[in-house]
Structure 1
Amino acid sequence: MQAILHEMTTAADAELIGLLAALIRQLRPARARDGRAAINGVQALCYLLELHPEYRQALRRALLHLISSCRQVPLYTETGILSNETFFATLRRRIGERLLPPVPDPQSLKDRFGEIFSAPDDHEWLAAVPREHWYELGRALHFDEERDRDSIARTRLQMLEAIQILSCRLAAIGLEPEIVRNCPEVQRFESPFVHQNIETLAYIERYRAAMIDATLPKDDDAQILVLLDQCEAQIAKVRRSAARQGVSVSLTYLLIRIRQHIERIKLLLDLIDPDGDREAHAERLLTVMIELVRAENRKHRIRDVFSENTELLALQVTDHASRTGEHYIAESRREWVAMFKSAAGAGFIVGFMSLFKLLTGKAHLPLLLEALAFGLNYALGFMLIHMLHFTIATKQPAMTAAKIAASIHQQSAQGGRRQLDLDELALLIVKVIRTQFIAILGNVLIVMPFALGIALAWKTLLGVPVVDAAKAQRLLHDLSPIASLALFHAGIAGVCLFLAGLISGYYDNKSIYNKIPDRVAALPWLNRLIGERRTRRLAGYIEHNLGALAGNFYFGMMLGTIGTIGVLVGLPVDIRHITFSSAYLSYAAVSFDFQLDPGVVLISLAGIALIGLTNLAVSFGLALWVALRSRKLNFRATRPLLGKLVRHFLTRPGDFLLPPRAEAPLPEPVAPAEAPPDNLETVRDWIRRRRR
């Protein structure tokens, strides 16, 4: 470090940028999160600067040369701010830059900044150093000794230019049709986005004039800050409107850009104002510095594009799923019994679906046609189950997980993490567990005997079983959790269940955002064909069922095609679903005339149970993870619930299987009879009141 500082004292201007990068490499710890090593490096640099005046003069010269010889505006207006490209254009550009990075421009401070802080984790060790050590470094540089004030003036002018550019862009984004659609009052009243631009331009002109003529009074930015707050209020209205009318990726992208522009304008306004607390000014400068380094380090990261742009969309998707999830939670014994009946109806239909699946397999169709036939069998069957208001048990987790996350989010927003009603949340999870238990029981207890009846009737009428002995042996082999990849394949089915839940929420959001029911109700040819009343009913059905039907269709197509895809690509991928696996055990038993080894039966039953558990665990875990992430929560928010659930299980294990009996309502208190008056003069009034 000392050798680099010594070399700076005699280096030419062209060599200073490389020496600054070398100095940062000396300060950079071996591990980015090693705060102790980073602190030691900063303290050592402070010591050298205080001990050698020529070192601090050389370092000041290098820093001032960096900002005076390069154009600063792109650093302030582009680093850490999404461009005006669409989401997919940004994604393509980042992928291209990741594969083939662009050539740095030596005249751009943005590119020079990236050369100096070139490690992808520089922002981590910069943030790990406490602020007081950075303040100490700033004091050790002794900028009060510097006589070159032109560089500071040029920096302020470029910050003013950056504020002007950001303000114009903010005004343009605020008038985008997507924003106006969700906040129509900007068409009736003057938009704060436009007004802030007018006020900002006037402020910049006055500021420049004050820099030239010191006798002019200084202006403040209070009015701009008020207008920026109004812009944020408008964005809050847009978000609330999106909760009712749906959201799109493009709207989410615009909302993120608006927030980024407002935050950057506020930061730059703070930095160009030299008045006020010097320590507060240093704090803002350091905050901007670390933010710019972080943005520069992550400028090619593809994951950030997804995480930033899918946040609101994921929230809306899981919010629709959580509202659907309320229908999958039985509150009382009556609802619990109703769930069993609904699941039993689904088991009845799955018995036929499994038959069609086995018969289609016996037809030996070409692979792609077979995959299509399998997928349509599953898809149409699941859609029929939904239309008849029946329930597939494994469809529940993706919905109920979103409901649990929404409940955690609501309680966190009300009182913070410490005030979470853990008892209420634990009770909600207990309800979910027992509802899923009875749904699985309804599916399995009906599909097994019904599939058995179908197989026996088929063998009696046609003289041959539905499947031959070889196919029956494969069916039993596929149920074994030891001899086959049944649990791995069950996990794949769980992923499909999770994706189906997201697809359902996505189409519900799409239906609302694009006003699909209203557009269907307004179709002239449909009104003439089936009548206005039936068209309105159809539109209402689409409004409430489009997401569920789409989710069931895609879920069925995924289940039907994954096995074929595995064959085509040579990978051992397939699906195992508890309800269909139960039916296949019945068909196999009839093929062997019930002459099955008891060990095989026990292993098959254990495999069915583990397949169901894997289906539920994978789909529930993934759905809960996405629902928590969309609400800026993590699994730590659910960790305290574990103890509550264990205690609940130890004290009342029956609640996990059967709802408690409803308590008899307390009798309403009877008002005491009015005693007759003692005074004879009021007896007549008392009698009149009693008659009324």
Structure 2
Amino acid sequence: MLDILERIDPHSDSTDLLIELVDCLRPRRRHRGHASAAVRTLTQLLRGNPAQAWALRSYIVTLLEKRRHTSLYSDIGILSNDGFFTELKRRIAWRLLPPALDDLYLSDALDQVLYAEEDYYWIRSVPDADWLALFDVVAEARPPLDAAPDRARLVTTMGMLDAIRTLSCRVCALGLEPRLVHSYSEIEDFDSPFLMQNIEVNHYLDEYGRFLEGAIPRPDDPRHLLVMLDQCDEVVAKIRRNSLSFGTSVALTYVLVAITQSIERLRKLLFLVDVSEASGESATALLAAPEQEAAREAERDAESAPCASRELVTMPQPAGPRPVTPRRAAALALAQELVEGHNTKYRVRGLFRDNIHLLARNVTENASRTGEHYIAESRSQLRDMFKAAAGAGLIVGFMATFKILLSYLRAAPLVEAFLFSMNYSLGFMLVHMLHWTIATKQPAMTAQRIAAGLHSRDGRSIDFDSMAELVNKVFRTQIVSVLGNVVVAFPTALVIAIAYQQMMGHHLVTPEKAMHLLHDIDPIHTPALFYAAIAGVWLFVAGLISGYYDNKALYTRMGQRVRQLRWLGSLIGIERRDRVSRYVENNLGGLMGNFYFGILLGTTGTVGYLLGLPLDIRHVTFSTANFATALVGLDYRMSWEMAANATLGVALIGAVNLLVSFSLALWVALRARKIQFKRSVMLLRALGRRFVQAPLDFFIGPRDVEVIDIPVFTKENK
């Protein structure tokens, strides 16, 4: 480190020695404690060698003066205006082959010096006091008498002012995006704050320019400009709230994130360049060259000390550390933010984290509203849920039979996958259109509803008794739905297999095929439970797809678009067209979720076959129907061990289906709402109390409350 300091050329604008110096500070193998010790060591070296401190200061000032600052403050850590998918492609390309660097820009110099992606970790691990002590030693280094004054602060301030203008224009352009106006049409009824803030910024920068020229003593404070930025934030917040009711898109989310990041950076830069009386710091303290005063003081000290050299005066030891003012703390925080933004600017994960959160929140919010229909509140609703599940079991019994018949075609693998997919998709869509219920599709929806009930920032305000009541309702509704599917699917498949035998003269499945069907649901000797977990993942994905299309129907106003189809009105009539539009708007998510769920189930086995991977699916209701079909195919000659094994397999497959889909859906819903729920013990205790107090009600729900109409007598009807 000392050798590097001795080799520094104060007039060089090459980053080579700065790269070597930072390498000395950078910890090896993530031992971040080394970084703090290295920074303190460098501070002591510079404090004991004032000449080297001044050389380092001059070297850094030369680097700053020879490079453009604007892009560093306006681009690093802020999304571009190109859109989500363009930015995604750019980041992927840059991960493979980084862009060429240009010595003309300070941001590219930062890329050369802090080239390691983990640099921001150790930089943040160093205490702020150590960094500020190092900066003070360099900034307060006394120059030789013949040293020319540098323009470090002025150059930095001018770069920040240019970045403020750039960011303001960017906020104005993004605020006038058509998709933004489409989501908040009220903005057209008054002057847009995005446009007005740009006018205020131009006025503020003009005043600042006259101040730098000496025409005015100081510029006005940016108080009114900050008010306009607050109004921009309010518009963004309203659009985000409206998106929960009217939907959103990746493009809109990207614009909102870019606006928010730009406004936050604007505020930070305005705070750092503010020299008004309201800032608490004088203009002289911000823009004057302190090295001139330091040189004059050094000259006076040299004259009063005849034994001292006039070329170099030893820096006196400071009485104590300088106080950490808000401006110094803000400058250090911005520097750390820029370093982190630079190190992570090629990361795809960060792009998804910043943009997908709001979209995921809206998708899960729509699924949460759908999940409310899958929660029974009373015994009468449980009976209704059982009837709806029984209807779905009837359909699945036929679907399982159709799949067996389709397998007899011996079609090519891709053709067979298409046929299986259409059998699943059309059957599930028919179940949805008849308002019946597939039990395994409920967890992906009800998990979102539970997560919505857990929405609390710290987890302390959660009403665990109310949450236990909700979980209990979901649990017993799920049990009743599974029973409804299974209880009806089994006899339906049994009757179909018997009828097929009577009509065709032979069984629907041969004994070998029947044994194969039983083998498929064997939970001990086959990977049936692993395949059930795959089906659980597809159930979860289908829930997300449903939420996505529900959000899309709201955002794109799907119902209104259907109502605008003149040819459809001429074909089926205006009244029927309006009913179709309302149905599409309210059921697009359910239909598309069931359609894609069928495709996922139908293609998994074929994809596994083509890739040579052990991939397949097991669904509890289809496994039940296959069990019944195999029972008839074996002429009811089945040992109790085989029957017990098949029954156990069906039960475990159903449990895995439900557990996997519910866990994944709940995890995504909690992440989308930024909830960290770590108090599950209290929830389990609340559930235990409910079970002990009313074990029967825990499983079948409370008795229905009868509402008795009591006539009210008045003077008129006495």
TM-score by length of 1: 0.91
1:567 aligns with 2:609: yes
1:21 aligns with 2:14: no
Whole-angstrom CA distance in 1 between matches of 2:386 and 2:499: 26
Aligned to 1:268: 269
1:130 offset after TM fit, Å? 3.2
Aligned to 1:254: 255
1:222 aligns with 2:223: yes
Q: 1:23 to 1:656 in 2, by over 3 A?
A: farther
Superposed CA deviations along residues 198-249 of structure 1, whole A, max 9, x for unmatched, are 1111111111111121653332111111111111111122223322221111
* Unmatched segments (≥5 aa) in structure 2: 282-323
* Unmatched segments (≥5 aa) in structure 1: 672-687
Whole-angstrom CA distance in 2 between matches of 1:105 and 1:652: 73
Q: What stretches of structure 1 move > 6 A for 4+ residues in a row?
A: 663-668, 688-692
Aligned to 2:503: 461
1:104 aligns with 2:105: no
1:141 aligns with 2:141: no
1:600 aligns with 2:642: yes
1:357 aligns with 2:358: no
2:559–2:584: 8 Å Cα contact kept in structure 1? yes
Q: Which moved more, 1:297-306 or 1:525-534?
A: 525-534
481, 487, 512: which one aligns with 1:439: 481
1:45 aligns with 2:42: yes
1:487 offset after TM fit, Å? 1.4
Whole-angstrom CA distance in 2 between matches of 1:689 and 1:408: 51
1:75 aligns with 2:75: no
**Residues 167-178 of structure 1: pairs in structure 2 closer than 5 A:** 167-178=168-179
Whole-angstrom CA distance in 2 between matches of 1:594 and 1:37: 75
1:581 offset after TM fit, Å? 0.7
Q: Which moved more, 1:642-651 or 1:610-619?
A: 642-651
1:510 aligns with 2:552: yes
Whole-angstrom CA distance in 1 between matches of 2:640 and 2:473: 35
Identity %: 46
1:376 offset after TM fit, Å? 0.7
Whole-angstrom CA distance in 2 between matches of 1:620 and 1:344: 22
**Residues 121-520 of structure 1: pairs in structure 2 closer than 5 A:** 121-143=118-140, 145=142, 148-213=149-214, 215-274=216-275, 275-276=279-280, 279-409=325-455, 412=456, 416-520=458-562
Q: 1:55 to 1:663 in 2, by over 3 A?
A: farther
Aligned to 1:584: 626
1:438–1:657: 8 Å Cα contact kept in structure 2? no
Whole-angstrom CA distance in 2 between matches of 1:638 and 1:152: 54
63, 66, 72: which one aligns with 1:66: 63
Superposed CA deviations along residues 151-186 of structure 1, whole A, max 9, x for unmatched, are 211111111111111111111111111111122233
1:495–1:619: 8 Å Cα contact kept in structure 2? yes
RMSD: 2.6
Aligned to 1:682: none
Aligned to 1:101, what secondary structure does the other structure show?
Answer: coil
1:666 offset after TM fit, Å? 11
Whole-angstrom CA distance in 2 between matches of 1:303 and 1:347: 42
Whole-angstrom CA distance in 2 between matches of 1:663 and 1:577: 37
1:128 offset after TM fit, Å? 2.7
Aligned to 1:480, what secondary structure does the other structure show?
Answer: coil
| One-letter identity of the residue aligned with 1:326 | E
Whole-angstrom CA distance in 2 between matches of 1:689 and 1:244: 47
Whole-angstrom CA distance in 2 between matches of 1:14 and 1:67: 8
Q: Which moved more, 1:145-154 or 1:257-266?
A: 145-154
1:518 offset after TM fit, Å? 1.2
2:10–2:62: 8 Å Cα contact kept in structure 1? no
Aligned to 2:3: 3
Aligned to 1:683: none
Whole-angstrom CA distance in 2 between matches of 1:145 and 1:599: 92
1:606 offset after TM fit, Å? 1.7
Whole-angstrom CA distance in 2 between matches of 1:406 and 1:655: 24
Q: 1:313 to 1:262 in 2, by over 3 A?
A: same
1:463 offset after TM fit, Å? 2.3
Aligned to 2:7, what secondary structure does the other structure show?
Answer: helix
Q: 1:423 to 1:24 in 2, by over 3 A?
A: farther
Q: 1:594 to 1:419 in 2, by over 3 A?
A: same
1:167–1:265: 8 Å Cα contact kept in structure 2? yes
TM-score by length of 2: 0.88
1:430–1:655: 8 Å Cα contact kept in structure 2? no
Whole-angstrom CA distance in 1 between matches of 2:476 and 2:93: 50
Q: Which moved more, 1:528-537 or 1:631-640?
A: 631-640
1:30 offset after TM fit, Å? 3.6
Aligned to 1:417, what secondary structure does the other structure show?
Answer: coil
Whole-angstrom CA distance in 2 between matches of 1:397 and 1:246: 23
Whole-angstrom CA distance in 2 between matches of 1:130 and 1:664: 67
1:653 offset after TM fit, Å? 5.0
